[in-house]
Every structure is written in structure tokens, then in C-alpha cells.
Amino acid sequence: MKTINKDRILPLLKKYVIFFVLIGLMILFSILTPYFLTVQNITNIFVQQSYVIIAAVGLAFVMIGGGMDLSIGWQMSLVGVVTATLMKNVGLPVPVAVLIGCMLGIVLGLFNGFMAITLKVHPLIVTLGTLTAYQGLSYIAANQSVILNLPPSFKYLGQGYVFGFIPVGVILMLIVVGTGSFILNKTYFGRYVYANGSNEEAAHLAGIDVRKTRLMIFALCGFFVALASMVLFARTGSAAPSTGPGTEFTCMTAAVLGGVSFKGGEGKMWGVVTGVLILGILSNGMQLIGMGTYAQFIVRGGVLLAAVGFDTYQKASAAKVKKMV
């Protein structure tokens, strides 16, 4: 009779604990309400969280690379408003407007990275400033109003279905997650991202162009955030400057919950996706059981604190193991 090897099982449990939490929440809400575990509701969760997952993939690159971007919510707002303006007021074709919007996202991301490098301060501080600037630009671009009746071909990105039952937004989400995972795990750039986040000085001594890597990380984040903006604004069918802000905190919470370290150098895309789904299922389940809005805020705050605490605990445990060795 074989004995259970605790040294092998415990690390696996720690690695996949986030997945077990997801399953546990699904079981819990399935018991509490009969409306949770239905095809329509599960589909709605994926549709509602598709843009969050796309944005979280972009933020994950920045966090794994040792940075932080608090401006992604207002980046989404500015990109969405500019894209809508180009379609409605300028009369550009939808593909051209979307392309320009994605290029704008890259430029905004590059600006964040450039300012962090130039000012030699943590991106957290830089993006606190740029988010305010992007907020003002968004309201100016929208002329402080809501742009209504966006073209049907644009709304298809967020409201359309392929084969009549697969949401287009979910398809875009899967493509982004697959692309992000491939870049992190199968390319030299992905290795540079992890190296940059683990120890920037060591990465520089190893021959990695740290400045160029950081710029590319922020540019990639800006591109994914722009795609998230397209999905979000296409789903709402209108463009308001207030649409988008707040996404950054959801993405940050999901990333940390999914195993991305605040200090950088750690994290996987499957963990980020799982983290977003946990938050989405929490929000959906709490609404279905009739929990109040303010009570939901308390739960979400508790989840973020728990995620940060778990991240700190894992870091401390790893440090103890290294000392013992």
C-alpha cells in the first residue's frame, strides 16, 4: 500500500487553491439559489467578465514585470470615447476607427512606461498622475456627453454571436488569454518580463535591455486594454466617459487573487482568468441571493485583503525555505 507523499501534495494544493475556491463558490451559490447554475446565467457571467479578463491580461504583464498601472480604467474610457467619436462624428469606417483606437491604447501605455523610466519612480506613482490626465482628455473628447447609437457592426464585437450561441466577446477573450499565455511561456520576451519583475538589476547584468522591456510591457498592456475597451463599449452600445473607470481595481484584485505577486516575477494567465471568474461569480451570486450593494463592497474588500495576505504568506514561506537550505 503506497503512502501519501505530503511533500508533493501540499505544493500542488497551494498552487491550485484558487481553482478549488472557484469550484467551491459555484457549489455554494448552486445550493443557495436555483438560478445560478443555468446555461444562461453561466453564459452571462462569461459575457460580463470578458472585457475584464482581457484588461486583466494586460495588467498582469505589467505586474509580473514589477510594475503597476492604475490608469487602465481611464485608458479604456479615453479609447472608447475617441473610437466612438471617430465613428459617429468623423464618419470613419468601423475597422479604421477600431484600429486607431487600438493604436491610441498602445500610445497611452507607452507614455506610462516612458514617464516611469524618465522620472525614475515606480509606475504606481506615475499612473496615479496619468489616470487624472486621461480622465480629463476623455471628458474633453466626449464633449462631456454620451455618444449614443454606435454602428451595429461595432456593437457586434460585444453583442454578437458566432453560430448563434458563442458570444464574440468571449471568443476575443479566449484569443487574448491564449496569446498572453503563449507570450509569457513560450517567448524570450516572456522570460524577460519575469526576469524584470524578479530582479531588475540582475536582469540588466544578464544583458536584458530593461528600459526597452518595460516600454514593451506597457505598450502590450495598452493594446490589451484598448481591446477590452472595444468589447465593453460595443456591449453597452454607447460611449460615456464614466464607462471603464473602476476596472483597474477589479483587475488588480483578480491578478493578486490568481497568484500574480505585487512584487513582480510571479504569475500565470490561468490564475488571472480564475481570479476574474471568482470575482464575477461572487458578484453574480450575491446579486441572485439578494445581497445589498454595500454588503457586496465589504465582501470584495475582504477578498482583496485575503489575496494580499495570502501573497505575503507565500512570500514569507518561500523566504524561510531558502534560509533553511
Please give the Cα distance from 258 to 276 (Å, whole number): 8
Q: Per-domain residue ranges for the chain?
A: 48-263
Handedness of CA 12, 14, 15, 17 (dihedral sign): positive
* String of DSSP letters for 132-145: HHHHHHHHHHTTTS
For residue 251, the 8-state DSSP code is H
**pLDDT given at position 17:** 82
Per-residue pLDDT tens over the stretch 295-304: 888 888 888 7
**pLDDT given at position 321:** 59
Spell out the residues 6+ positions from residue 186 whose beta carbon is closer than 8 angstroms to its own.
none
Question: Could you tell me which residues are beta bridge partners of residue 161?
Answer: 167
Backbone phi, psi, residue 99, to 5°: -60, -45
**pLDDT given at position 1:** 44
pTM reported for the whole predicted model: 0.93
Closest CA to 312 of 266, 250, 246, 245: 266
How confident is the prediction along the chain (325 residues), in pLDDT tens digits per residue? 455 555 566 566 667 788 888 999 999 999 999 999 999 999 999 999 999 999 999 999 999 999 999 999 999 999 999 999 999 999 999 999 999 999 999 999 999 999 999 999 989 999 999 999 999 999 999 998 999 999 999 999 999 999 988 999 999 999 999 999 999 999 999 999 999 999 999 999 999 999 999 999 999 999 999 999 999 999 999 999 999 999 999 999 999 888 898 889 999 999 999 999 999 999 999 999 998 888 888 888 888 787 777 767 766 666 665 666 5
Question: Could you tell me which residues are beta bridge partners of residue 239?
Answer: 147
Per-residue pLDDT tens over the stretch 217-235: 999 999 999 999 999 999 9
Handedness of CA 152, 176, 267, 106 (dihedral sign): negative
Kindly give the residue spans of alpha helices, DSSP state H, lying in the chain: 6-15, 17-32, 39-64, 72-85, 94-119, 123-141, 152-159, 168-186, 188-198, 200-205, 210-236, 247-257, 269-288, 293-324
**pLDDT given at position 319:** 64
8 A C-beta contact, residue 226 and residue 105: yes
* String of DSSP letters for 130-192: HHHHHHHHHHHHTTTS-B----HHHHHHHH-EETTTEEHHHHHHHHHHHHHHHHHHHSHHHHH
**pLDDT given at position 292:** 84
**pLDDT given at position 4:** 52
